[in-house]
Structure 1
């Protein structure tokens, strides 16, 4: 059965691939090679496989070349857009900062005016109370004096009335002097009363004018408070959103920053206005609330300088490799990439992305020349493959300080910086921090 099947297969192949002989002739003899149908079939199939593999490989190379070109163009466009966005955000940040400073100056001036007006009002109230007390005393004295005057007049009338004979009894000399003195005293008292009444009316008018001015100042202060409260909300909300987008707990973060800056006093001391009663002042409460928001804003500013909300390259570059699993450029296999690669010319300046302390500055396997910076909140940044290191271990750096130059040391295929961010030793995507600060800085 097996022989019969082989004979049939050979017959079918013979029709399409007849047996051929390849003669090889030399000077002394002639030889030939017999090409059976099966051999010809295998040769044809192998040639077809080689041609197909060649076509497929060429197509893949062409597609990879075209895709790489498009990726480079897209990366260049993204880089230009990002640089423009950074410039716009820096301008907007400076504008917001100037507006906040101007608002704080207006707020301080308004508080000074309010304090002066309240002092004047307290003085006016004290004067009014003194005038009212004086008027009461004068009125009491005047009534007593008028009563005494009437009694004296009655006695005087009785004394000067003619007797039954029709003759008036003459008064002694001392009585005439007493009568003249009393008349002069009554006249002076009446003039003093009129003067006090006029002063009291003037004081009431001044009190009304001061009340109107204070009401106007309160309206102005209310408008200023509204502007300051809105400015504080607008300033604090983006910072809070930025830290939350980076995965940081804002409550514990602010507590940690406050522990490092726990001094009291200065312009952020709570305000208390002098009042005649024990009731709390609404203006003082609003002012203290604004000062609390200013304190929170300042804490956010300090925290932002200690977290890597920046990019280590300030000049032109391109993103050559993202964070996560990627194809290894050396072996071609799949490996985790714990940072982002920013490519640029050798010698491109590199800058610290936050305040911190240098904990490593030297050679490290794989990284080449490596700088590690320890920041607050358990954050560490790494800058690998550098050509030159400009800092040393233990040195304290601030955001924007130059720490070295870009290069291609260590396990690298070209000039770039390998930038890592680690939180409590665990690698995180640096783009999380960069994108979180996109609409703030």
Structure 2
């Protein structure tokens, strides 16, 4: 039955793949090998499978190479963008500080002008009150004098009538002339007093107009200060929110970080401090707003310092690497089986420079079991970073390093299958995912 099935298959394939004969000739004889259609079809299928497998494997290798190059380019771009954003943020912070200082200078000048205006206003008010008091006194004196004049005139008329009745005009007439002369003198004095009163009224009117002009200038100055403060407050808020979110995304308490940074930078030359003071007296609304802006700038400066003290940077500043293993459970590359991996693996060229990801102090620099040549750096806030499988170490124990300082070169020392960097971050001695810090910074910078 198998022979009959094979015959039918060969007969069906005969139209496409006719039977071929391969002749083998020697000195003594000639032989040939028959290549039936079924045999040719099997050989063709095997060849097609080999060619397809070769094409697929080549595609996988090419795509892996392209992905590795893309990851390196993206990492380089993220690193460059991180540095640019940090520089821009620092420049923006300096600009905001300068704007705040200039605004404070303008505010101080405005306060001095307002103080002078208020002094002139108070002086003009005192002068107006004095003038009003003088006018009242003059008016009372004038009324009293008019009444005395009227009484004197009535007395003159009475005396004249008596002189006429008694026939003694000479002595009494002299008295009447003296009284008339006295009244003329008093009338001149009253006229002068009335002129002084009019002058005082004019001065009081000018003082009221000057007071109104000063009040309008004060209101205009207040509106201009409100606009300046509003712009500064908005700029500080926009710059502060991404930094606050970056620290929270990394699982760090912003308030605790700022408190620790402030305690280490409290001497001369440290963060900005409020410069508006009233020596214990209550603050005005503008002074309170100015102190609030300066406090926000101080907080931004402390954030900048904290960003350098926490491991937000990339340990490979060149960006020439391929991410090969993440944090968490993975298959052990030597023995197989699930094993916990407490860091990140970055594969790259032998000797690639490795940089510190934050300011700190070197606590380990030498051979470490399982990690080969390793460096451990202690940072503020209870953070430590570890760099393993290095080829060279460029620091010593106790040395202070800054973020971006080259501390070693990538290698293949210790328990490693190839050239790469093993990078860990510990918080309070407990390992955490370093990618949390890298991503938190990339979202901001």
Superposition TM-score, scaled by structure 1 size: 0.74
Is the contact made by 2:79 and 2:317 (CA closer than 8 Å) also made in structure 1?
A: no
Structure 2 vs 1, CA of residues 99 and 202 (structure 1 numbering), >3 Å: closer, same or farther?
farther
What's the RMSD between the two structures over aligned residues?
4.1
Superposition TM-score, scaled by structure 2 size: 0.74
Distance 2:114 2:279 in 1: 8
Distance 2:185 2:96 in 1: 68
Which consecutive unaligned segments of at least 5 residues does structure 2 have? Answer: 1-45
2:250 counterpart of 1:246: yes
- Residue by residue over 1:27-86, the C-alpha shift from the partner in whole angstroms, topping out at 9 and shown as x without a partner, is xxxxxxxxxxxxxxxxxxxxxxxxx9xx99999998676445423321321321332244
Distance 1:434 1:93 in 2: 14
From 258, 264, 267, give the equivalent of 1:260. Answer: 264
Structure 2 vs 1, CA of residues 301 and 267 (structure 1 numbering), >3 Å: closer, same or farther?
closer
Is the contact made by 2:97 and 2:297 (CA closer than 8 Å) also made in structure 1?
A: no
1:91 offset after TM fit, Å? 3.3
Is the contact made by 1:359 and 1:394 (CA closer than 8 Å) also made in structure 2?
A: yes
Aligned to 2:70: 77
Distance 1:423 1:266 in 2: 26
From 263, 274, 277, give the equivalent of 1:269. Answer: 274
Pairing 1:331-410 to 2, within 5 Å after superposition: 331=335, 334-410=338-414
2:305 counterpart of 1:302: yes
How many residues align? The count is 394
Aligned to 1:133: 129
From 137, 141, 145, give the equivalent of 2:141. Answer: 145
Is the contact made by 1:391 and 1:404 (CA closer than 8 Å) also made in structure 2?
A: yes
Aligned to 2:94: 101
Which consecutive unaligned segments of at least 5 residues does structure 1 have? Answer: 1-51
Distance 2:82 2:184 in 1: 91
- Residue by residue over 1:306-342, the C-alpha shift from the partner in whole angstroms, topping out at 9 and shown as x without a partner, is 1101112221412242223334444555433322223
From 411, 416, 423, give the equivalent of 2:415. Answer: 411
Aligned to 2:234: 230
Aligned to 1:435: 439
Q: Classify the secondary structure of the residue corresponding to 2:370.
A: coil
Q: Classify the secondary structure of the residue corresponding to 1:315.
A: coil
Q: Classify the secondary structure of the residue corresponding to 1:268.
A: coil
Distance 1:298 1:206 in 2: 46
Distance 1:260 1:308 in 2: 18
Structure 2 vs 1, CA of residues 409 and 266 (structure 1 numbering), >3 Å: closer, same or farther?
closer
Aligned to 1:215: 219
Distance 1:241 1:203 in 2: 57
2:127 counterpart of 1:122: no
1:244 offset after TM fit, Å? 1.4
Structure 2 vs 1, CA of residues 158 and 296 (structure 1 numbering), >3 Å: closer, same or farther?
same
Is the contact made by 2:75 and 2:319 (CA closer than 8 Å) also made in structure 1?
A: no
Is the contact made by 1:383 and 1:420 (CA closer than 8 Å) also made in structure 2?
A: yes
Structure 2 vs 1, CA of residues 279 and 253 (structure 1 numbering), >3 Å: closer, same or farther?
closer
Is the contact made by 2:274 and 2:295 (CA closer than 8 Å) also made in structure 1?
A: no
Is the contact made by 1:327 and 1:334 (CA closer than 8 Å) also made in structure 2?
A: yes
**Which of 293-302 and 62-71 deviates more?**
62-71
**Which of 80-89 and 184-193 deviates more?**
184-193
Distance 1:268 1:72 in 2: 53
Pairing 1:18-33 to 2, within 5 Å after superposition: none
Is the contact made by 2:391 and 2:409 (CA closer than 8 Å) also made in structure 1?
A: yes
Structure 2 vs 1, CA of residues 333 and 65 (structure 1 numbering), >3 Å: closer, same or farther?
farther
Is the contact made by 2:364 and 2:376 (CA closer than 8 Å) also made in structure 1?
A: yes
Q: Classify the secondary structure of the residue corresponding to 1:295.
A: helix
**Which of 282-291 and 311-320 deviates more?**
282-291
Higher RCO structure (Cα 8 Å, ≥6 apart)? 2
2:291 counterpart of 1:288: yes
